[in-house]
Amino acid sequence: RIARKHIHCRGDIDMLTIPLLRIYESLIPPEEEKEKQRQLLISLEKLVVNEWPHAHLFLFGSCANSFGVSNSDVDVCLVLRDADIDKSEILLKLAEILQSANFQNVQALTRARVPIIKLKDPVTGVSCDICINNVLAVVNTKLLRDYAQIDVRLPQLAFIVKHWAKSRGVNETYQGTLSSYAYVLMCIHFLQHRDPPILPCLQETKIVTYHKIVDNIECAYFDQVEKLKTFGSDNKESVARLVWGFFHYWAYCHDYANTVVSVRTKNTVSKRAKDWTRRIGKDRHLICIEDPFETSHDLGRVVDKYSIKVLREEFERAATILQTYPNPCEKLFEPF
């Protein structure tokens, strides 16, 4: 199965850069949307601090990691210093406060894997999820945002991949396909392994400028990314070539049976080394994507024997369309 098709990219691939960049630009949220998100955070902060004076609110996920397309939900994390709090109790209390403050559709999902409150702000029309003490998500949001500063081809590639995944119905973890977070990590990994590389491994540089211990996990990396602006400049590949290369890699080159995608290290990580070679409980490890900090966590664990087939067929479809269609852009993002 490996590398059996389309070894060489079509000769006129670079011509697709203009239409692909047009799509990328159309997905970028306008400044007023960012402003609405900030306003929502401020109004939530007032309510929260009134009840819990030492609490802090952080934005995370796509509204803060610079991989957010227009009209995304806002992910907010409420951080309370006290370690042994009852999250359900806090969420129910907060839901009550939010309801009295006239937020719409307030729902406390206290029994979800990550308990959250869902709500809609009637003033800005923005929908929002609030979780508690999910500090690792705040830190991995920063890591993604820092990577995005290094080379603009990362946000360009990732927006296109996310848009493709949403259009094709393969961005649904409850159906066994991958989260947006997993797709962005796949893009980072792909760009770290171009020759010459377009991105460094920020967790592997000699100097550590950011250091935090969260839930007993050491989160350390080089975050002075403004010093890395020229890191990828020896690589002249166009966005179109990278988009094609991404799908081609996942369709024909990735060794699903033996390797783990890890942005943490430049070395190849094997499934054997992590003991991710067999099914353990519900985790089948059919496509392995290691979380950069919580390294025991495989973001591909939601993928089952049916959805792996769907995913691989979608990667092949995308690679074939980009390789063979005269005007592939419309077809690539066709709703499934």
Residue 38: C-alpha distances to residues 64, 143, 293 (Å): 11, 21, 27
Residue nearer to Mg ion on the CB measure, 62 or 140: 62
Partner residues linked to 131 by β-bridges: 77, 116
Binding residues for ligand ATP restricted to 136-195, rule: CB under 6 A: 137, 140-141, 179-181
Binding residues for Mg ion restricted to 66-85, rule: CB under 5 A: 75
Q: Are 57 and 77 in contact (CB under 8 A)?
A: yes
141 binds, among Mg ion, ligand ATP, none (CB under 5 to 8 A by kind): ligand ATP
Partner residues linked to 119 by β-bridges: 128
Q: How many CB atoms lie within 10 A of CB 120?
A: 15
Which residue stretch of 55-63, 211-219, 220-228, 327-335 sits at the interface with ligand ATP (rule: CB under 6 A)? 55-63
User: For the chain, how long is the longest CA-to-CA vector?
Assistant: 62
Closest Cα partner for 2 from 250, 272, 247? Answer: 250
Position 57, amino acid: L
Closest Cα partner for 98 from 115, 79, 114, 120? Answer: 120
65 binds ligand ATP (CB under 6 A): yes
d(CA 312, CA 99): 44
238 binds, among Mg ion, ligand ATP, none (CB under 5 to 8 A by kind): none
Residue nearer to ligand ATP on the CB measure, 62 or 156: 62
Least gap, CB of 66 to ligand ATP (angstroms): 10
Q: Are 224 and 202 in contact (CB under 8 A)?
A: no
Q: How many CB atoms lie within 10 A of CB 129?
A: 18
Among positions 75, 146, 223, 314, the unique one binding ligand ATP when judged by CB under 6 A: 75
Position 250, amino acid: W
Residue 110: C-alpha distances to residues 4, 80, 93, 113, 114 (Å): 48, 17, 12, 9, 8
134 binds Mg ion (CB under 5 A): no
d(CA 135, CA 118): 19
179 binds, among Mg ion, ligand ATP, none (CB under 5 to 8 A by kind): ligand ATP
d(CA 189, CA 245): 12
Binding residues for Mg ion restricted to 286-325, rule: CB under 5 A: none
Least gap, CB of 178 to ligand ATP (angstroms): 9
Per rule CB under 6 A, count of chain residues that contact ligand ATP: 18
- Mask of contacts with ligand ATP, 233-272, x by CB under 6 A? ----------------------------------------
181 binds, among ligand ATP, Mg ion, none (CB under 5 to 8 A by kind): ligand ATP
291 binds, among ligand ATP, Mg ion, none (CB under 5 to 8 A by kind): ligand ATP
177 binds, among Mg ion, ligand ATP, none (CB under 5 to 8 A by kind): none
d(CA 293, CA 143): 10
Among positions 13, 37, 62, 95, the unique one binding Mg ion when judged by CB under 5 A: 62
88 binds, among Mg ion, ligand ATP, none (CB under 5 to 8 A by kind): none
Which residues would be at the binding site for ligand ATP (CB under 6 A)?
60-62, 65, 67-68, 72-73, 75, 137, 140-141, 179-181, 291, 297, 299
